[in-house]
Amino acid sequence: MIRFIIIVLIVLLYLILGIPVLLIEWVIGKINRRARDYSSLRLVQAAFKLIMFATGVKLTVIGEENVPKDRAVLYVGNHRSYFDVVMTYARCPRLTGYIAKIEMLRYPLLRDWMKALYCLFLDRDDIRAGLKTILQGIEYIKNGISICIFPEGTRNRSDTMMPFKEGSMKMAEKTGCPIIPMAITNSAEIFENHIPFIRRCHVILEYGTPIMPDELTREEKKRLGAYTQQKIQEMLDKNKALL
């Protein structure tokens, strides 16, 4: 319970102390948008690294060299824990927006930071709004901003992945950017498996070989979501033995 309280305090203090920082970042953005973007990125990454330190989690990272540092990518991962976002965002080498559920707009300050970091908010009940979100993601990737999505559609509560939403792959299909499959093993053991306690555990984060949509066969392109999911499942199966 102590770890849970510490993490809640970190988040609250960051959001409260971040109010004047958001204003400063806004001013910086008027002068140099790129400087604002990267200062915001590094500030949030520092906070997320502190949160991960507070969890006491042993994090093993495999294949990080597979992530290009010179171009935007589409990160695609399985999703079992709130901490999936924390641990993966802390490692992004360049500007990256996450696809979040639209309900996150309810939370002031948090939503402001998310918007500043190019996060997009997906309404899963509105097909037209969902299409607009995907189109915005395509524009971000074309402008050099990576996107991360968890295509199961929601946080999974079992060890069996739910089918990936094929529509989420359109951002890679339309831009030709690399898809970076991310396999996150055992993250639910941090918190979700024993709410409200934060437990020390071993988590494995593996970045798979980039998937280039333009290099796939016609059949693989038609089922790009399932193809990517299969690659992630293979990594998950392999990494269970490492826990």
Q: What is the pLDDT of residues 199-238, one digit of tens each?
A: 999 999 999 999 999 998 888 888 999 999 999 999 999 9
In a domain, 204, yes or no: yes
Which residues are CB-contacts of 223 (< 8 A; sequence separation ≥ 6)?
166
In a domain, 49, yes or no: no
So what's the pLDDT on residue 157?
76
So what's the pLDDT on residue 166?
85
> Which residues of the chain carry a pLDDT beneath 50?
none
Q: Which domain holds residue 104?
A: 57-242
Q: Number of structural domains, the chain?
A: 1
Q: Of 1, 3, 113, which Cα lies nearest the Cα of 55?
A: 3
In a domain, 22, yes or no: no
pTM of the model: 0.94
Which residues are CB-contacts of 39 (< 8 A; sequence separation ≥ 6)?
25, 28
In a domain, 33, yes or no: no
Instruction: Give the domain CATH number at 180.
Output: 3.40.1130.10
What are phi and psi for residue 127, nearest 5 degrees? -60, -45
So what's the pLDDT on residue 203?
98
So what's the pLDDT on residue 190?
96
In a domain, 16, yes or no: no
So what's the pLDDT on residue 178?
97
